[in-house]
Structures are given as C-alpha cells and as structure tokens.
Chains A and B, each alone.
Chain A
Amino acid sequence: MKDFSFYLNSTQEIGYVERTTSSIIYASGLPKSKPGEMVIFDNENLGQILSLSPNFIEILVFPENPVKPGMKLVRTNEFLKIPVGWELLGNVISPLGISLNPLNSKRSPSLRRGVNNPASGILTRRTIKKQLETGVSLVDLVIPLGYGQRELIIGDRKTGKTNFLLQSVLTQAKKNNICVYAAIGKRKLDIKELKDFFVKQGVFDQVVIVASGSEDPTGIIYLTPYSAMTISEYFRDEGNNVFLVLDDLSTHAKFYREIALLGKRFPGRNSYPGDIFYMHSSLLERAGNFVTPKGEKAITCFPVAETIQGDLSGYIETNLMSMTDGHLYFDGDLFAKGRRPAINPFLSVTRVGRQTQSNLKRELNREVLSFITLFEKMQNFTHFGAELSVGTRATLGFGEKIIEFFKQNPSTTIPINLQIILFGILWNNILENKQSQDKSQNTDTEKLAKLYEKNEDVRKKIDSMIEGSKSFNELLGIIRQKGEKQLVNILKYAN
C-alpha cells in the first residue's frame, strides 16, 4: 500500500477528522468517497468508510496510533485489501496481514485480495460428497461432516470446544490441507498456546493463524473473520481444500454491536444492530464446496458460538444455527461427567454430512446411533430403581463400553478407517474381557493411531479390510474371521 502523499496527489481530495468516538471517527471533506473505501490518515493509519451523510463521513479505524480531531485523511480509491500468498503459512498475522512475530523472516506477500468479496454464485458450487475427517471418533462415526460443510461448534465455555477444533485442524493439516484459524478477540496467551500446539505437532507449516487480541482496536477485531475467509479463498483458488475455524462469532457479534452502537445505529434485539444476521451470513456464505479451475475444492468452515449455561436459544446462536449446515453441541453436563469430547449426539445436527458416507459408514452410523439412543433410554429407565433383567444389564454394560470407546484424549486424532476397525472389534465383542474403565485403552488407541500413520503395512491391511467390505455386516464378518488375529499382531507392532 502506498503512502498518504501518494493518495493525496492521485485523488486530489482531502478530509479532516472532526470527531472521534473510540473506533469510529467522523470526518469532513473527501467529496467522492464511497462506502467500504479505504482511507489513510497522515500518520499512515488505515480506516474503512462505513457510511456517508451530507455533512460527515463515518469511518471505522484500525489504528496503531490514536486518531485525533484535526488530523488529515485521504481516500485511496481502493476497497480493503490484505496481502495473501504462500508466505502466510506458518505465521501468526493480524487481520491486516501483518505478521505478529517481530522475528518473522518471511516477506509479506505482494498479492493483495479484497476482504469483503461477495460469495460465489450457485453455478460455482457443487454438492458436498466427500467426508471430512476430524480425527474424533464420535464426530466421524456418529455425526459425520463433509468437505465444504459449515458446522457450528456451540457450547458453554470450558467444555472442550477448542480442543476439538485443534484435533480437527491437526487431522486436516496431516492430510496436507490448508488450515486457517481465526482467533477473534482472544487473549495473547491463548494465541500463543494455539501456535505452540501447532508447532509441537509439526503442522504449523500448513496453518495460518489470523489473530486479534482482546486489547486490539474494535475495528481490527471486527475484521478478523473476513480476513481469514479471504485468505481461505486465496488458498482454495490455488487448488487446496481449506479448513477454516472462526473462534468465535459470539465475540465478533459483541464487537460489531459496539461499533454499531457507537455509530448510532438503531439497536435491535439484545441491542445488536439489524444487520448482524447479514454480517454473519454473508461471511459464512463464502464457505462451501466449489468448482475451481484447479478442480473441486472446498472451504470447510467451523464457526464457534459460546452459549451461557447451555442456552441454545440465544439470538446469535440461533442466527448461526440457521445459516450453517448443522451444529455440534458441547454439553456442560457431559463434560462434568467426564466425557471427552463432551459432544451431545442427540442435540447435534449434521445436515449434509451423511450424504458423504459410503454404505458401510452409513450402516455403522445407523447402528451406533440407534444403540446409543436405546442405551440413553435404558439409563433413564434405571433411574426409577426397577429390577433389571440380564439383557438390560448387558445392554447397559455394552453401552458403557461404547461411551468409553468414544472418549478420546484432546491431543489424539484417530484416522477414520482405524476408528471403523476398532468399532467393529468392539461391536463384535472381541474385547469382552477388557474392562471398560481400563486406563490403558486411550494409550493403546494412541499407539495404534501412530502405528497406522507410520507403518504402511498396517495401514494397507486396515484400508483393504474397509475397502473390501460393502456393508457393516460384511466388515463384522471379516473382523470375526481374521480380525482378532490381526489385532493381536497390530498390537504387537504397537508395543
């Protein structure tokens, strides 16, 4: 971006700051300015025109230095653009594309892309057909998701949402997909922890973190998800599947409300402005499965919403539910019971995920869902203190094992084929002598996951078993025939 004097000479227009109110300023002058246009102040700060009135221009500022009345500003004849390029990978950047690491040796990309692009039209979109792996068994087997799906991650704070997101990013990065993580108004410590996690897992080269801190100007925080989406669109157009996390849009809505109220917009429900739905829907509409010159590529988007005491009926929460293709509900009660991840499968929805599943996975999904529904009902029934039959006790015991199976360490990701095989073994009751509370179970799963990733032989064997089965029953048959022996061999490998 050029400097103040360049734009002053090229546009031959000047404005003066008349009034400032936090992140919004009112300026006079600039007769040919347009809404959305960027302005630059004489101290090289940037701003974006929000609205025009006969006497004043309303500008949202992104200042590093304070903007004071009397300062000069010029319009740039450009809409807000940020630098995009491969150099962004392995970097923590501000929403304006500036690296937040002062020791960063990578150059800022020279290509610039508009932040407020309209969403692609219907002709460029394709049906979601490919399943997206999160590495979390409960999601991949029970609430499957697809590439290009927009899935809301909703729940109270401290219910394991971020851990699940990190697991998903990790799985996607291992698959060589580009991951963009938008940390909206987070604490600096949280942003550092995010980065450290990716560095530790060795996937930071596949990740871009677009971060704004809670102490940053409101304008910068507001911009964060839009910048992250712009970066995602760039990588999609470069021929990559992109996994985008917007953490979180409840915070974003609060900051946008602040801007709107300062700008004297008429307050609506919960004092949010009337266009809050539009602000979020126009953002999420930019994700999806697209046909590009480089093939069918998807932007899968996981927006996050924080609830208060499990209330799913909040304004922003319901807005987001209506503009996404389902939601994963992180239940505080399940978290307190020790379930990890604390996803409530009965209150979670996936609208397009099941269409991506193969016959085998669909059957497995149906079986497991109907079983855990039955288990849940029986558990409720036992609360009445009735005497239980042998069959009921067996179902309850097996249900406990299933629940235990879905428990997963926050740092472990399990490839989907391994999940299916392990579930098949459990379903066949091959491990019936193994105690459900056995603490070594998670360690075994971790070892198996690592083995599957590293050992090609094991991977091929497991994959061929899945590929060779047309239905879940067929797979169970194969596992019954040779699964036990193979499992013993695999476990030997792992140990």
Chain B
Amino acid sequence: MKDNTSIYSDILKSIKTTDDQEQLLSEIDILLDALFQTRLGFEKSLESISLETTKVLKETFLKINLDVTNIDEVVNFLNELKNKIKSLKTLKLYLAFFPSEDSIDKLFNWIINNLGNRIILSIQEEKTILGGAIIEFDGNYLDYSLKKRLEDLFFKRKEAIFKI
C-alpha cells in the first residue's frame, strides 16, 4: 500500500456536509465490524454498506493497489481514513431556509475553490434570522443576517422611530 495522504483525497472530496461525514463514518464502522466479526473477506463485507460508498472505496483500492485479501491492511486503511474524515474542519452556516442539493453543491464548490478542500459544511435552518446568513468557522463568528441588520438599524434610528 502506498503511504500517501493524497490517496484519501477522492474519498474526502465526496464529503460535502456533516451529514455526509457522519454517514461515511458510520459505514466505515459497519464495515470494520463486518470484517472483524465474520472474517468473510472484503468483498462479502462490502455488502453491508451503501452502493455509493462501495464504489468509491473500490475505486480507491484499485488506484492504490491495495491487497483486499489482506484484512489487516484494509483495516489499517479504514482506520486512517476515519481519522482523516474526523479531522475535516466544519464551516457552520445558519440560513433562514434549508437549501436545495444544487445550492449546497454550489456553496461547497465555492468553499473548495476559495478556502481549500479540507472543509465541510454544516447547514442549519434558523428561521429567526429572517434572511442572510450567519457563518461560523475556526472560532470566528460572522453575522450577516437580516435580523442583525434590522436590529442595528432600529438601534441607530431609535429616537426617530419612537417619535412616530
């Protein structure tokens, strides 16, 4: 097996949101359990996870020439993959609506192009912000919501508003 961090990049690129992250992690856990418990071999164990993940994993193994008959090697690969997935940074986005898949893809592509490919999205619907977005990343908090703008506006023009 090649010892190269780029070998995981294809798999990591397929993770766009924290939901994807959790799903992939749980599938890897299922796969690891299946490998340990049954000792049925890799091909048989793959049946216990989704077809999409199976496809990505198989492609990666082929690419890096991993010997799938060697269970220890497969387990090492999967554990390392789990660590890589857990180390992905999260950009939290609070929106007044839940975006469509297309919108999420667009947002994710923008992030990959501008901030790098080790970041995933955590999108939460927060109707009280009315519009705009609140962004949280690396401990930074940026409130670009409509609610905040309106509050600032009311505060600035408090006296004028009270006169009405």
- Contact residues in B for A14 (Cβ distance below 8 Å): 136, 139-141
State which of A9, A13, A28 has its C-beta within 8 Å of the C-beta of B140: A13
Name the residue of chain A whose CB is nearest to the CB of B136: A14
Query: Does A30 reach chain B (CB closer than 8 Å)?
Result: yes
Query: Does A359 reach chain B (CB closer than 8 Å)?
Result: no
* Total CB contacts across the A-B interface at under 8 A: 25
What is the bound-complex CA distance between A8 and B141, given in angstroms? 8
Query: Does A217 reach chain B (CB closer than 8 Å)?
Result: no
Check B141–A31 contact: CB distance below 8 A.
no
Contact indicator per residue, chain B 117-138, by CB within 8 Å of chain A (1) or not (0): 0000000000000000000101
Name the residue of chain B whose CB is nearest to the CB of A12: B141
Check A31–B143 contact: CB distance below 8 A.
no
What is the bound-complex CA distance between A433 and B46, given in angstroms? 107
Check A13–B139 contact: CB distance below 8 A.
yes
Name the residue of chain B whose CB is nearest to the CB of A75: B139
Name the residue of chain A whose CB is nearest to the CB of B143: A9
What is the bound-complex CA distance between A189 and B148, given in angstroms? 49
Check B148–A31 contact: CB distance below 8 A.
no
- Contact residues in A for B142 (Cβ distance below 8 Å): 12
Query: Does A29 reach chain B (CB closer than 8 Å)?
Result: yes
What is the bound-complex CA distance between A8 and B134, given in angstroms? 12
Give the residues from 14 to 52 in chain A that come closer than 8 angstroms, CB to CB, to chain B.
14-15, 28-31
Minimum distance in angstroms from A418 CB to a CB of chain B: 65
- Contact residues in B for A13 (Cβ distance below 8 Å): 139-141
What is the bound-complex CA distance between A8 and B139, given in angstroms? 11
- Contact residues in A for B141 (Cβ distance below 8 Å): 8, 11-14, 74
Contact indicator per residue, chain A 404-430, by CB within 8 Å of chain B (1) or not (0): 000000000000000000000000000
- Contact residues in A for B140 (Cβ distance below 8 Å): 12-14, 31
- Contact residues in B for A31 (Cβ distance below 8 Å): 138-140
Q: Considering only CB atoms and an 8 Å cut-off, how many residues of chain B contact the other chain?
A: 8
Check A9–B148 contact: CB distance below 8 A.
yes
Name the residue of chain B whose CB is nearest to the CB of A32: B139
Name the residue of chain A whose CB is nearest to the CB of B142: A12
State which of B139, B143, B148 has its C-beta within 8 Å of the C-beta of A30: B139
Which of B136, B138, B140, B143 neighbours the largest number of chain A CB atoms within 10 Å of its CB?
B140
What is the bound-complex CA distance between A28 and B137, given in angstroms? 11
Minimum distance in angstroms from B94 CB to a CB of chain A: 11
Check A15–B143 contact: CB distance below 8 A.
no
- Contact residues in A for B143 (Cβ distance below 8 Å): 8-9, 12
- Contact residues in A for B136 (Cβ distance below 8 Å): 14
What is the bound-complex CA distance between A31 and B140, given in angstroms? 7
Which of B136, B138, B141 neighbours the largest number of chain A CB atoms within 10 Å of its CB?
B141
What is the bound-complex CA distance between A12 and B141, given in angstroms? 5
Minimum distance in angstroms from B44 CB to a CB of chain A: 38
What is the bound-complex CA distance between A168 and B11, given in angstroms? 74
Give the residues from 72 to 91 in chain B that come closer than 8 angstroms, CB to CB, to chain A.
none
- Contact residues in B for A29 (Cβ distance below 8 Å): 138-139
What is the bound-complex CA distance between A13 and B141, given in angstroms? 5
What is the bound-complex CA distance between A11 and B141, given in angstroms? 8
What is the bound-complex CA distance between A8 and B94, given in angstroms? 15
What is the bound-complex CA distance between A13 and B136, given in angstroms? 8
What is the bound-complex CA distance between A28 and B92, given in angstroms? 14
- Contact residues in B for A28 (Cβ distance below 8 Å): 139
- Contact residues in A for B139 (Cβ distance below 8 Å): 13-15, 28-31
Give the residues from 32 to 81 in chain A that come closer than 8 angstroms, CB to CB, to chain B.
74
Contact indicator per residue, chain B 56-75, by CB within 8 Å of chain A (1) or not (0): 00000000000000000000
- Contact residues in B for A11 (Cβ distance below 8 Å): 141
What is the bound-complex CA distance between A391 and B139, given in angstroms? 84
What is the bound-complex CA distance between A179 and B138, given in angstroms? 48
- Contact residues in A for B138 (Cβ distance below 8 Å): 29, 31
- Contact residues in B for A15 (Cβ distance below 8 Å): 139
What is the bound-complex CA distance between A491 and B142, given in angstroms? 80
Minimum distance in angstroms from A323 CB to a CB of chain B: 39
Minimum distance in angstroms from A339 CB to a CB of chain B: 62
Minimum distance in angstroms from B128 CB to a CB of chain A: 12
Name the residue of chain B whose CB is nearest to the CB of A8: B141
What is the bound-complex CA distance between A11 and B142, given in angstroms? 10
Minimum distance in angstroms from B139 CB to a CB of chain A: 3
Which of A13, A15, A28, A30 neighbours the largest number of chain B CB atoms within 10 Å of its CB?
A13
What is the bound-complex CA distance between A15 and B139, given in angstroms? 6
What is the bound-complex CA distance between A204 and B57, given in angstroms? 76
Minimum distance in angstroms from A53 CB to a CB of chain B: 14
What is the bound-complex CA distance between A29 and B140, given in angstroms? 7
What is the bound-complex CA distance between A371 and B148, given in angstroms? 80
Name the residue of chain A whose CB is nearest to the CB of B138: A31
What is the bound-complex CA distance between A61 and B141, given in angstroms? 22
Name the residue of chain B whose CB is nearest to the CB of A74: B141
Contact indicator per residue, chain B 3-20, by CB within 8 Å of chain A (1) or not (0): 000000000000000000
Name the residue of chain B whose CB is nearest to the CB of A27: B139
Contact indicator per residue, chain B 23-59, by CB within 8 Å of chain A (1) or not (0): 0000000000000000000000000000000000000
What is the bound-complex CA distance between A11 and B143, given in angstroms? 11
Minimum distance in angstroms from B107 CB to a CB of chain A: 20
- Contact residues in B for A74 (Cβ distance below 8 Å): 141
Which of B139, B143, B148 neighbours the largest number of chain A CB atoms within 10 Å of its CB?
B139
Kindly list the 5 A-B residue pairs having the minimum CB-CB distance in the complex, ordered from nearest: A29-B139, A14-B141, A31-B139, A30-B139, A12-B141
Q: Give chain A's interface residues, CB within 8 Å of chain B.
A: 8-9, 11-15, 28-31, 74
Given A9-B148, A12-B140, A74-B141; 6 other pairs, CB 8 A cutoff: A9-B143, A11-B141, A12-B142, A14-B139, A15-B139, A28-B139
What are 22 residue pairs bridging A and B, where the CB atoms are less than 8 Å apart in the complex? A8-B141, A8-B143, A9-B143, A9-B148, A11-B141, A12-B140, A12-B141, A12-B142, A12-B143, A13-B139, A13-B140, A14-B136, A14-B139, A14-B140, A14-B141, A15-B139, A28-B139, A29-B138, A30-B139, A31-B138, A31-B140, A74-B141
